[in-house]
Structure 1
Amino acid sequence: MLYLYISLGGALGALGRFLLSTWIYNKSQHIFPYGTFIVNILGCFLLGFFYIITLDKSLISPQVRMMVSVGFLGAFTTFSTFSLETLNIIKEHNYNVALLNIGLSVLLGLLAVWLGAVLANFFSQIKERGDKVGENYREGS
C-alpha cells in the first residue's frame, strides 16, 4: 500500500511541477530557468516545513508522510532538470548565468529548507501555547 501512496504523491508532484514551471516559463521568457528554480526553492521550503510539522508521528500516518515527502515533493522538485538546464546554459557560453543558477539554487535551497523548518517550529510553539491556555481555561471553569 505504501507504494501506491508514494506513486500517487509522485504523480501529483510531477503534474504540479509541470504546470507551475510551464506557467512561470511562459511569463518570464528569459535565459535564466526561472520555472525550475522557483519550483525547486518552493519544494525545499515545503519539505523543511513538512518535516518539522510531522516530527510528531501521531499527527500523520507514515504512509501519508512518505506520500508527501518522497512522492509529491520528490517529484515536484527536480535536480536532473536543474542540471540539464544549467548544462545547456553553459553550452550557450552564458557562464555567468550558469554560475548564478548554481549558486542561487544551492544557497536559496538551503535557506528555504531552513526557513520552512523555522516557520513550522514557530507554528508548533503557538499551537503548544494555545493548548496550554485551553487546558488552564478548562481547569479554571
Structure 2
Amino acid sequence: MIKNLALVFIGGGLGSICRYLIGKYFSQFKWVDFNLGTLTVNIVGSFLIGLFIGYFLKDESQNQDLYLLTAVGFCGGFTTFSSFSVDQLNLLKNGAYQSFFIYLILSLVLGLTATFLGLLMTKA
C-alpha cells in the first residue's frame, strides 16, 4: 500500500508541476476572458488519460505501478477541474456570460473529444 501511495504521490506532484508551468505560460495571453491555461490543461489531461486507460485496457496485465503513476497520479495532479469551477464562478460573478458559456462548452466538448481520441489511438 505504501508503494502505491508513493507512486500516486510522485505522479501527482509531477502533474501538478506541469499544470503550474502551463498555467504560468498561458497567463500572458489576455485576449480572452477565461483561463486558457486551465482549458489547455484539461484538454491535454483528458487526452492523456484516454491514452493511458486505452493502453492499460488493451492488456490488463500491464504494470499496475505504471497505471498508478500515470493515470491516477499524473493525470489526477495535472487536470484542474476544481480550478475550472472557480474560473467559471468568477466569470459569472463578473457578468462575463458569453465567456462563461464558451469556456463551458469548449471544456466539455473538447475534453470529451480528446479523451475519446486518446482512447481510440491506443486501440489495436
- What is the CA-CA distance between 1:57 and the residue it aligns to? 3.0
Q: Which whole-Å CA distance do the structure 2 matches of 1:68 and 1:14 have between them?
A: 12
Separation in structure 1 between the aligned mates of residue 51 and residue 12 of structure 2, nearest angstrom: 18
- Deviation string, structure 1 residues 30-72 (Cα, Å, up to 9, x no partner): 312111001100000111111111221334x212211111110
Number of residue equivalences:
120
So what's the TM-score if we normalise by structure 2?
Answer: 0.91
- In 1, Cα distance between equivalents of 2:61 and 2:93: 50
- Match for residue 24 of structure 2 among 22, 35, 44: 22
Alignment counterpart, residue 95 of structure 2, candidates 93, 96, 101:
93
Task: Kindly indicate whether residue 70 of structure 2 is the aligned counterpart of residue 68 of structure 1.
Answer: yes
Matches of 2:24 and 2:91, distance apart in 1? 18
- Structure 1 counterpart of 2:84: 82
Between the aligned partners of 1:77 and 1:95, the Cα distance in structure 2 is 24
Gap runs ≥5 in structure 2: none
Q: Could you tell me how far apart the structure 2 residues matched to 1:16 and 1:115 are?
A: 22
Q: Pick from 57, 61, 85 the counterpart of residue 60 of structure 2.
A: 57
Of structures 1 and 2, the larger Rg is shown by: 1
> Structure 1: which 4+ aligned runs deviate by more than 3 Å?
none
Note the aligned Cα RMSD (angstroms): 1.1
| Whole-angstrom CA distance in 1 between matches of 2:60 and 2:24 | 35
Match of 2:13 among 1, 8, 11: 11
SS at match of 1:58: coil
Aligned-pair CA distance for 1:105: 0.6
Match of 1:39 among 38, 41, 62: 41
Name the SS for the 1:57 alignment partner: coil
Alignment TM-score, normalising by the size of structure 1: 0.81
Q: Which has the higher contact order (CA 8 A, sep 6+)?
A: 2
- Where does structure 1 lack aligned partners over 5 or more consecutive residues? 126-141
